């Protein structure tokens, strides 16, 4: 006799999960969704199974704000192991090329500006990018040759934290679509050697950082009421966007998908992205055009 199905709860908010090593982002979302009994869940930016750190998980209405988080900057700390390139550009793959050369600290520091700003990067073959409807990593694991198109990415900051003959540790702040594994591969090649990511941790995504983070173990140890209290509000994911504070009448109009005229001193005339609130609660995501807030996604 099968167990009775759990009732799904219409719960909304953000879990800033400190994802453990060797867990996929999909597994992490599924675990959190089960712990909360949530009707709907998603994440704001895939984190590799071998990586740890910040994985923002959206429940309920927070899933509508995921693009705002995905478009935000991300911060990574990672170690490059020198002398070996792998098929996956991380410690999981087989070694495909080696080099006896080891860069000096001075050489590494001199190379970092070349990889800062807008650069061209070829994503790893083992990535979640879709090629003709298939994930690149599925094609690569099946032994097929995977041709990845180069793309422009933006690295806002790249600094050396520690240097050694075996490994070097770096920190990177970057925009959406940047691959740490590709950076490690390309930086090593530029320095006349080979390299791969030996360790990777994401320390910030958009407005979320390690200060907000909670582990799976901590969530499992909580009673349901405490677990609910640990949820951040939907508006927490919108902290990097301008807030438009609405009156009750304006909020009613926006909830029906209608634009509203913004009045008063300092009312914005134009904004590419903004969120509207009523008494601190997120009502909608949208933009301001000619002094009107126009909703794109309404939050229930």
The C-alpha atoms of residue 47 and residue 78 are separated, in whole angstroms, by 13
Residue 48 annotated to the active site: yes
Residue 184: name the closest of 173, 174, 194 by CA. 194
How far apart are alpha carbons 249 and 251 in whole angstroms?
5
DSSP string, 271-285: EEEEEEEETTEEEEE
Q: How far is CA 197 from CA 51, 139, 194, in A?
A: 10, 21, 11
The distance from CA 219 to its chain's CA centroid, rounded to whole angstroms, is 21
Please tell me the distance from the alpha carbon of residue 73 to that of residue 24, in angstroms, as a whole number. Answer: 21
Check if the beta carbon of residue 11 is closer than 8 Å to that of residue 228: yes
Dihedral of the alpha carbons of 126, 156, 172, 105, in degrees to the nearest 10: 110
Distances from the Cα of 246 to the Cαs of 74, 216, 278, 283, in angstroms?
30, 37, 5, 9
Residue bearing tokens 């800033």: 16
Q: Is 109 helix (H, G, I), strand (E, B) or coil?
A: helix
> Considering Cα of 261, then 290, then 234, then 130, what sign does the dihedral take?
positive
Catalytic residue among 18, 48, 89, 90: 48
Q: Which residues of 214-225 are buried (b: 16+ CB within 10 A; e: fewer)?
A: bebeebeeeeee
Q: List active site positions.
A: 48
């Amino acid at each position: 006799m099968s167990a009775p199905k759990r009732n799904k709860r219409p719960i909304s908010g953000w879990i800033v999960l400190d994802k453990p090593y060797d867990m996929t982002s999909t597994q992490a979302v599924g675990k959190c969704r089960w712990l909360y009994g949530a009707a709907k869940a998603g994440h704001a930016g895939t984190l590799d199974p071998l990586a740890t750190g910040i994985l923002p998980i959206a429940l309920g209405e927070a899933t509508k704000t995921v693009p705002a988080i995905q478009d935000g900057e991300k911060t990574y700390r990672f170690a490059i192991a020198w002398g070996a390139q792998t098929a996956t550009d991380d410690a999981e793959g087989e070694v495909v090329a080696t080099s006896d050369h080891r860069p000096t600290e001075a050489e590494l520091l001199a190379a970092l500006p070349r990889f800062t700003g807008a650069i061209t990067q070829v994503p790893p073959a083992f990535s979640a990018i879709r090629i003709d409807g298939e994930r690149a990593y599925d094609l690569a694991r099946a032994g097929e040759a995977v041709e990845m198109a180069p793309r422009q990415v933006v690295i806002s900051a790249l600094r050396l934290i520690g240097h050694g003959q075996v490994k070097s540790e770096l920190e990177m702040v970057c925009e959406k679509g940047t691959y740490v594994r590709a950076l490690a591969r390309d930086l090593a090649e530029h320095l006349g050697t080979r390299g791969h990511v030996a360790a990777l941790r994401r320390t910030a995504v958009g407005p979320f950082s390690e200060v907000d983070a909670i582990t799976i173990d901590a969530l499992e140890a909580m009673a349901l009421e405490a677990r609910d209290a640990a949820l951040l509000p939907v508006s927490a994911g919108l902290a990097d966007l301008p807030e438009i504070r609405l009156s009750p009448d304006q909020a009613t109009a926006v909830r029906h998908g209608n634009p509203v005229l913004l009045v008063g001193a300092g009312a914005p005339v134009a904004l590419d992205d903004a969120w509207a609130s009523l008494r601190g609660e997120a009502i909608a995501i949208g933009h301001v055009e000619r002094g009107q807030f126009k909703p794109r996604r309404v939050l229930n």
